Structure 1
Amino acid sequence: MRAKTSRLYKKAMHSYCISFNFRTPYQILLDSSFCKLATEQRLNLQQDLQTVLCNPTRPMVTECVIQELHKTGDHRAATVAKSFERRKCKHHLPVTSQQCILELIGSNNDNNYVIATQNDIIRKQIHDIPGVPVLRVKNGMIILEPLSKVTKDAILQKEKEKTLPSSAEAQQLKIAKLVQKPPTEPVHKKRKVKGANPLSMKKKKKQSPPPPKKQKNQGNKKNKNTNNDKTTTNTTSKTGEKRKRSSDDTKDS
């Protein structure tokens, strides 16, 4: 068996174990058609079933299956079936293996049986029951059929139920809702107006300080002093001319 197929079989049986409480060793109910074809192809059922399911197994047959094999004349298959564990059924008179196995499975497969059969009618009816793995012989080897649609839907439903609260928790939630006070409106605090982040702001350029006012007064004073100097020079020049004229007049007289 390939590694890829063994991984698929492990994954399928793991889903059966989680969702439908299958446990090792797996209980495998063998049909008369399965026992007949396995003996014809000389399969070692005890070993091959363990390699397919990757776990220890318990092959089982009912008295109805053995009696059906004797009626059809498959005595070799009947001797192989007698080597397996007997599963008691409610039939005092032997019935067909199809009827016997379907009655043992019931509507929910409470005993977690794995069914090994080549009968197409049994396989179709089993596919309508959730949580029933099916084994069959194909090309000289035993294969595990993939999960049916009903089984997949049941797994999804159980996964949803796990997320929901239990009945006791639901009652506690109802009581808590009745006791709970009506919700009050939350008081929103006003946010303080914050200034801009100083690190994100550009630094202000330093402006050169304006010239002091004293310099203007000193400039006015300088202008006044120059004007006074000019007036004094003009007055002195005029007085000097008057003196010269007065001296010239005295000389003439």
Structure 2
Amino acid sequence: MRHGRAKAARKTLKFYALNGNIKAPYKIIFDGNFLAAIIKQKVPIFDRLNKLLQHAQFTAYTTRTALDELALIPGEMFEQARQFGLDECEIIEHRDVPNAQPGKESNPKMDIKNLTRGGNKEGWFICTQDEDLSDAIRQFPNVPQMRLTRGVLILEAPSSASRRKANEEESGKQSTGGGTMTNQEKELVERIKAQEEKKRKRQQEEEYHEIAQQRRKKKAKGPNPLSCKKKKESDTNSDGKKRNRRKKKSSAAADE
């Protein structure tokens, strides 16, 4: 893992530890399309997770509904993805999902939403390639997300909902503290928040820049036209026969 991405991951993990009480050992959920992406991109996912999570302990999970969904999709890749989930992950049964209604059909998206809504008290990390699910999860505070981008495992920066929740809790602490904070201390807190926001934006820019560099391909350059020799005039006729050039006789030979 590159130094910049590792540094950003440390900051993100620290944020969730302080604001969401999400600490090791971590609990990671793979949804169905993330399992398929592991197989398709041939990613050594546990090695990547180990590095991204700073070598902390973790357990991988998937939902029964995600495995059932993969079983319905034809293709060897989806069959391998399902088998990977069965072999390498702890399975969360539908009956164990909070707010799940027995006897009613469910789906992986709904199960993951039910697991993480309400402040993500269990501290789940969500690994998904589904943009609709990601957008929905970003509305819940303190839900870390991961995704695969061209084989690179990325831990997203805290969402706006997570930062807003952290700011609200910090403001609440200040208001219940009986006004013990001085103006200098308040200015320091605001300055630290502004610095963290700048760091977050810079982290996102670095991630996008790194991905763009990976996608960029070097274009083959043509020869320098100035260094190319001019082609000599052909010594052949249009019919392909070589022309015989007559040598001019010298004037001395002509006089003889």
TM-score scaled by structure 2?
Answer: 0.61
Aligned AA (1:104)? L
Q: Does 1:7 align with 2:11?
A: no
Aligned residues between the structures = 168
Q: Does 1:122 align with 2:133?
A: yes
Aligned AA (1:75)? E
DSSP-derived class of the 2:72 partner: helix
Aligned AA (1:65)? A
Q: Does 1:86 align with 2:97?
A: no
Unaligned residue ranges in structure 1 (runs of 5+): 171-253
Task: String of CA shifts for 1:48-68, please: whole Å, max 9, x gaps.
Answer: 112112122211011111111
Q: How far does residue 81 in structure 1 lie from its aligned partner after superposition?
A: 0.6
Q: Using the alignment, how far apart are the partners of 2:105 and 2:66 within structure 1?
A: 8
Q: Using the alignment, how far apart are the partners of 1:9 and 1:161 within structure 2?
A: 27
Aligned twin of 1:18: 18
Q: Using the alignment, how far apart are the partners of 1:42 and 1:94 within structure 2?
A: 32
Aligned twin of 1:108: 119
Q: How far does residue 96 in structure 1 lie from its aligned partner after superposition?
A: 2.2
Q: How far does residue 3 in structure 1 lie from its aligned partner after superposition?
A: 1.1
Q: Using the alignment, how far apart are the partners of 1:155 and 1:132 within structure 2?
A: 13
Question: Which of the two has greater helix per residue?
Answer: 1
- For residues 92 and 2 of structure 1, do their structure 2 counterparts lie closer, same or farther at Cα, with a shift above 3 Å needed? farther
Aligned AA (2:38)? A
Aligned AA (1:106)? R
DSSP-derived class of the 2:71 partner: helix
Q: Judge conservation of contact 1:89–1:104 (CA < 8 Å) in 2.
A: no
Q: Using the alignment, how far apart are the partners of 2:50 and 2:127 within structure 1?
A: 13
- For residues 53 and 135 of structure 1, do their structure 2 counterparts lie closer, same or farther at Cα, with a shift above 3 Å needed? same
- For residues 34 and 11 of structure 1, do their structure 2 counterparts lie closer, same or farther at Cα, with a shift above 3 Å needed? same
Query: 1:87-236 residue pairs with structure 2 within 5 A?
Result: 87-90=92-95, 95-165=106-176
Q: How far does residue 98 in structure 1 lie from its aligned partner after superposition?
A: 1.1
Aligned twin of 2:204: none
Aligned AA (2:33)? S
- For residues 30 and 19 of structure 1, do their structure 2 counterparts lie closer, same or farther at Cα, with a shift above 3 Å needed? same
Aligned twin of 1:60: 61
Task: String of CA shifts for 1:10-40, please: whole Å, max 9, x gaps.
Answer: 1111110111110201111111010001111
Q: Judge conservation of contact 2:16–2:22 (CA < 8 Å) in 1.
A: yes
RMSD: 1.9
TM-score scaled by structure 1?
Answer: 0.62
Unaligned residue ranges in structure 2 (runs of 5+): 96-101, 180-256
